[in-house]
Amino acid sequence: MGERVMYQERKGTAGRPSTYLYLPSCSAFRSVDLNDGRGGVEGVGARMVGWAREVFLPQGYPESVSPDYLHYQFWDSMQAYCSSIAGALSLQATLIGLGVGEGTATPLAATLSWLLKDGSGMVASIAFAYWKGTQLDCNSKQWRLFADVTNDLNSLLRLVGPALPVPFLLVLCVSGLLAALVGVAGGSTRAALAVHQARCDNMADISAKDGSQETLVNLAALVTNLTLLPSFTATLSTTWVTFLTCVSLHLLANHRAMRALTLASLNRPPFITDYFPHGFRVSIGCSLHWALQRCGGDPGVLYKAASGAFKGQRYMLCGSLQRRQLHIVYRSGITTEEELEGVVMAFLCVLNYCHATQGTPLSERLIAPGITTTTTTTTTTTTTTEYELITAVRKVVVREFPALLKSMEELGWKVDKLQFGADEWRLMDD
């Protein structure tokens, strides 16, 4: 083999290229360094960076994760560092409250107190998961902030616990309850964020590397605590200044982390809230029987009007515009596109009703046919007149919704996965 044979390869798009040259003398390819005389320091540094990338970042980074991954992880690491230091300060107060260092304290009393704390947390975690579990997906950012604020409140409670005029066992039980809320809300929303960050079906890898990053941060906080904790707790004022500084930085880092996220799913915060504009109460995927009872009036008349207005559709609006209630009822077999259409329909009904009764400004192309500010001169309406308005709005939805759906897809919104927190009730076909 008389000619020079050489090739290059690299691991991932951001990996360091490796060059291999064929040596006829040993009949094998050998790695060669093509640094052009720049020395070996740069090569060692590049290898260290590559090693850190493999250990702490998901495989295939940055193509395998969302564009906001690094920005979010930076602020998430900052908040974990501050939280660990604040937690160490509160841990010292907890041990004091348990009687560590006192001759009258017994190991059995401390053990029983700790077991009761854990027991109260277990009960609280089950209750909280049942109460708010379905809302954690559609409000992941808010619940993530809730978890971190609750964590800070828990640290504050443990810090002041020994000075409170109540049995420290009660403080421990409340602390266990707060810690359970943090565990459920924080863990669940972190899983939801991992789904958002995964771009190559690598959610498990992202979760594992997130754990490695958090462990590294906690290790750095541990070194800080071992080195500086005696100084932090030298006086009461120093302890409180350090604690409040860490909590403030913790909350700031969490706020920046949530701002860094750009979720592409249609969830309740960016699209709808518990209340539509002008104080309208809206429920999604609710029971028809429950909706008829909530709206008042004759339920038979309301059912006939609603079913007639939405004949052939897999959803219907059951409500009383006068009482500012709209309930979106789904039929069996409804698609996510039809679910979104139902929400848009309810939204436009609210806008048109307020335009007709209060003169609220509304874009010309969104005004239903025949609806003007003089259509309804009083706020008193009947089921018949309200469903005449809803039927007119339906024409606008049929005309405008396909274009709206297309524009949302072009902007990158995931319209095939909705996070509206809809209930599971479905109206069965006749």
**Of 72, 70, 66, 62, residue with least CA distance to 144:** 72
Confidence of residue 105 (pLDDT cuts 50, 70, 90): low
Q: What is the pLDDT of residues 142-180, one digit of tens each?
A: 899 999 999 999 999 988 888 888 888 888 899 999 999
Identify whether the C-beta of residue 154 lies closer than 8 Å to the C-beta of residue 281.
no
Q: Mean per-residue pLDDT for 320-333?
A: 91
Q: Check pLDDT > 70 for residue 6.
A: yes
Query: pLDDT value at position 318?
Result: 92
As a CATH number, domain 69-263 is: 1.20.1250
- 301 or 9, greater pLDDT: 301
**Of 150, 250, 141, 251, residue with least CA distance to 196:** 141
DSSP codes of every residue in 240-279: HHHHHHHHHHHHHHHHHHHHH----EEEHHHH--SEEGGG
Task: Compute the distance between CA of residue 243 and CA of residue 157 in angstroms, rounded to an integer.
Answer: 12
Confidence of residue 99 (pLDDT cuts 50, 70, 90): low
Q: Check pLDDT > 60 for residue 373.
A: yes
Q: Mean per-residue pLDDT for 375-395?
A: 76
Residue 63, helix vs strand vs coil:
coil
Query: pLDDT value at position 393?
Result: 93
Task: Compute the distance between CA of residue 385 and CA of residue 389 in angstroms, rounded to an integer.
Answer: 6
Query: pLDDT value at position 270?
Result: 47
Q: Check pLDDT > 50 for residue 316.
A: yes
Query: pLDDT value at position 133?
Result: 84
CA atoms lying within 13 Å on the CB side of residue 148 = 28
Confidence of residue 101 (pLDDT cuts 50, 70, 90): low
**Of 273, 296, 266, residue with least CA distance to 346:** 273
Amino acid identity for residue 135 in this structure: Q
Any idea of the CA torsion for 338, 341, 345, 348, to the nearest 10 degrees? 180
Q: Check pLDDT > 80 for residue 33.
A: no
Tracing tokens 């409040």 back to the chain, one arrives at 244
Query: pLDDT value at position 1?
Result: 47
Task: Compute the distance between CA of residue 53 and CA of residue 87 in angstroms, rounded to an integer.
Answer: 29
Q: Which residues pair with 284 in a beta bridge?
A: 328
DSSP codes of every residue in 65-87: B-TTHHHHHHHHHHHHHHHHHHH
Query: pLDDT value at position 53?
Result: 87
Q: Mean per-residue pLDDT for 48-73?
A: 89
Task: Compute the distance between CA of residue 359 and CA of residue 238 in angstroms, rounded to an integer.
Answer: 59
Query: For the CA atoms of the chain, what is the radius of gyration?
Result: 30
CA atoms lying within 13 Å on the CB side of residue 103 = 0
Q: What is the pLDDT of residues 224-281, one digit of tens each?
A: 999 988 888 888 888 899 999 999 999 999 999 999 998 888 876 545 555 577 788 8
State the DSSP code for 427. Answer: B
- Arithmetic mean of pLDDT over the chain: 85
Helix-then-strand count for the chain, H and E: 12, 9
Query: pLDDT value at position 135?
Result: 81
Supply the pTM of this predicted model.
0.78
Amino acid identity for residue 317 in this structure: L
**Of 398, 393, 385, residue with least CA distance to 321:** 385
State the DSSP code for 186. Answer: H
CA angle 59, 60, 62 (to 5 degrees): 115
Residues forming CATH 1.20.1250 domain(s) in the chain: 69-263
State the DSSP code for 198. Answer: B
Query: pLDDT value at position 42?
Result: 53
Distance set, CA 199 to CA 61, 193, 344 (Å)? 10, 12, 29
Task: Compute the distance between CA of residue 203 and CA of residue 196 in angstroms, rounded to an integer.
Answer: 9
- Which pair of structure tokens corresponds to residue 107? 């190991």
